[in-house]
């Protein structure tokens, strides 16, 4: 079983939500044999359009091995759009590097620890019906330490392991098309620049949702990512494909390459709704899914027989005040993966 998911027992005490006026607090407890006990929670406030006077959400937790994660988000209306401030702080102990490329052995890896901070400010607005644009500035910092001294590190395409600060602009576009079937096309580009280093990335995606009745929705997404400047990219921000990036049955950052192709297929079924109070309900949904993905250093190296596959089942619980909690259990040839996060994968 894979890192951060080994023998995890997720006890989500959502029915103990604490109504602090418009604030909702949801405790989280889980256990991992590789990281220890997880203690944390979700805080939500007014995550529903039009987000007035402001909205806030975060999921924060600590492991007993010293790993930490906190990702707060603040939104407030301004003019004809929204100002969005995002921050994240993550400390990961004993992460795994499996080498570079689309193959390798999942039992051969080297360990390291990393500390990562992100801070971004952006403006989100809709210039046309169905089109949403977001642009802003992203600042990043990372440090890699406690690297084990093994030969596999020679496969890393970068030597940027030390404390590194970078900053740069980003822009994203999202075009929905609710005609005949629901769906969207999205695209984004970001650039990071620092002392003697620079790198950038671009991605585009197509997603389609075809509701069947009021409670069943098949959903499909394809996504392509391209990374430039790999040799000058801080190690923590190398392009990769794995558990948290959408290939849910594999380790985080299991595969690394300048190009990434990813496909996700889901069948979403709402099971039951609970009334919390006069103004809030919680929906419980189950999801069947399958993922397929691969990486390559050159686009013409991508082949149909190079895709890695997984499949599984997940649960979604909508949160009073907006948003949802996602838990996915995925089986792949390399073991069982368990992923937890806020919101849908796509």
Q: What is the CATH number of the domain that holds 232?
A: 2.40.160.50
Could you tell me the sign of the dihedral formed by the alpha carbons of 150, 249, 64, 342, in that order?
A: positive
User: How far from 307 is each of 52, 177, 207, 295, CA to CA, in Å?
Assistant: 44, 29, 19, 8
Q: What is the pLDDT of residue 90?
A: 95
DSSP, res 143: E
CB 83 within 8 A of CB 228: no
> Is residue 1 in some structural domain?
no
Q: Distance between CA 211 and CA 198 in Å, rounded?
A: 43
Q: What is the pLDDT of residue 6?
A: 38
> Is residue 38 in some structural domain?
yes
* CB neighbour list of residue 278: distance below 8 Å, 6 or more residues apart: none
CB 120 within 8 A of CB 99: no
CA geometry: angle 235, 237, 240, nearest 5 deg:
100
* pLDDT tens, the chain, 346 aa long: 443 443 333 333 333 444 445 688 888 887 665 677 889 998 888 888 888 899 999 989 998 888 999 999 999 999 999 999 999 999 999 899 999 999 989 999 999 999 999 999 999 999 999 999 999 999 999 999 999 888 899 999 999 999 999 999 999 999 998 866 799 999 999 999 998 899 999 999 999 999 998 899 999 999 999 999 999 999 999 999 998 889 999 999 999 999 999 999 999 999 998 877 777 788 999 999 999 999 999 999 999 999 999 999 999 998 776 678 899 999 999 999 888 887 899 9
CB 318 within 8 A of CB 179: no
Q: Distance between CA 286 and CA 266 in Å, rounded?
A: 10
What residue numbers bound the domain in which 195 lies?
11-342
Q: Distance between CA 157 and CA 257 in Å, rounded?
A: 10
> Is residue 50 in some structural domain?
yes
> Is residue 42 in some structural domain?
yes
* CB neighbour list of residue 266: distance below 8 Å, 6 or more residues apart: 218, 219, 220, 287, 288, 289, 345
Cis preceding-peptide flag for 53 (omega within 30 of 0): yes
Domain count, the chain: 1
> Is residue 196 in some structural domain?
yes
Q: What is the pLDDT of residue 12?
A: 38
Q: What is the pLDDT of residue 17?
A: 40
Give 57-93 as a 3 state SS string: EEEEEEECCCCEEECCEEEEEECCEEEEEEEEEEEEE
Q: pTM of the entire structure?
A: 0.86
Q: Distance between CA 222 and CA 258 in Å, rounded?
A: 17
Within a 13 Å sphere around the CA of 223, how many CA atoms are in the beta-carbon half?
25
User: How far from 6 is each of 80, 301, 329, 341, CA to CA, in Å?
Assistant: 46, 33, 11, 17
> Is residue 211 in some structural domain?
yes
> Is residue 161 in some structural domain?
yes
> Is residue 6 in some structural domain?
no
Q: What is the pLDDT of residue 33?
A: 56
Which of 306, 317, 319 is CA-nearest to residue 328?
A: 317
Helix (H, G, I), strand (E, B) or coil at 316: strand
Q: Distance between CA 110 and CA 339 in Å, rounded?
A: 22
């Amino acid at each position: 079983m894979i890192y951060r998911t080994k023998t995890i027992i997720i006890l989500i005490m959502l029915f103990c939500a604490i109504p602090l006026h418009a604030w909702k607090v949801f405790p989280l407890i889980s256990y991992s044999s590789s990281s220890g006990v997880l203690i944390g929670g979700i805080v939500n406030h007014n995550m529903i359009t039009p987000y007035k006077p402001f909205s806030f959400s975060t999921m924060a937790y600590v492991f007993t091995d010293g790993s930490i994660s906190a990702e707060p988000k603040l939104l407030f209306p301004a003019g004809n759009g929204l100002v969005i401030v995002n921050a994240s702080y993550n400390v990961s102990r004993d992460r795994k590097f499996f080498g570079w490329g689309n193959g390798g052995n999942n039992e051969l890896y080297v360990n390291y620890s990393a500390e990562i901070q992100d801070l971004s400010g952006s403006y989100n607005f809709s210039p046309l019906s169905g089109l949403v644009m977001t642009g802003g500035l992203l600042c990043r910092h990372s440090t890699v330490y406690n690297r084990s001294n093994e030969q596999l590190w020679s496969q890393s395409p970068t030597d940027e392991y030390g404390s590194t600060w970078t900053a740069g602009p980003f822009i994203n576009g999202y075009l929905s098309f609710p005609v005949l079937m629901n769906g969207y096309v999205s695209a984004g580009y970001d650039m990071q620049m620092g002392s003697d280093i620079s790198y950038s990335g671009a991605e585009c995606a197509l997603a389609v949702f075809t509701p069947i009745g009021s409670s069943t929705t098949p959903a499909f997404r394809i996504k392509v990512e391209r990374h430039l400047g790999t040799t000058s990219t801080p190690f923590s921000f190398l392009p990769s494909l794995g558990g948290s990036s959408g290939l849910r049955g594999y380790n985080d950052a299991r595969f690394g390459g300048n190009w990434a192709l990813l496909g996700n297929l889901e069948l979403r079924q709402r099971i039951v709704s609970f009334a919390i109070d006069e103004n809030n309900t919680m929906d419980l949904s189950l999801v069947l899914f399958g993922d397929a993905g691969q990486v390559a250093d050159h686009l013409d190296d991508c082949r149909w027989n190079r895709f890695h596959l997984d499949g599984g089942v997940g649960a979604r619980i909508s949160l009073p005040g907006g948003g949802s909690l996602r838990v996915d259990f995925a089986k792949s040839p390399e073991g069982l993966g368990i992923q937890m996060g806020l919101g849908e994968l796509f």
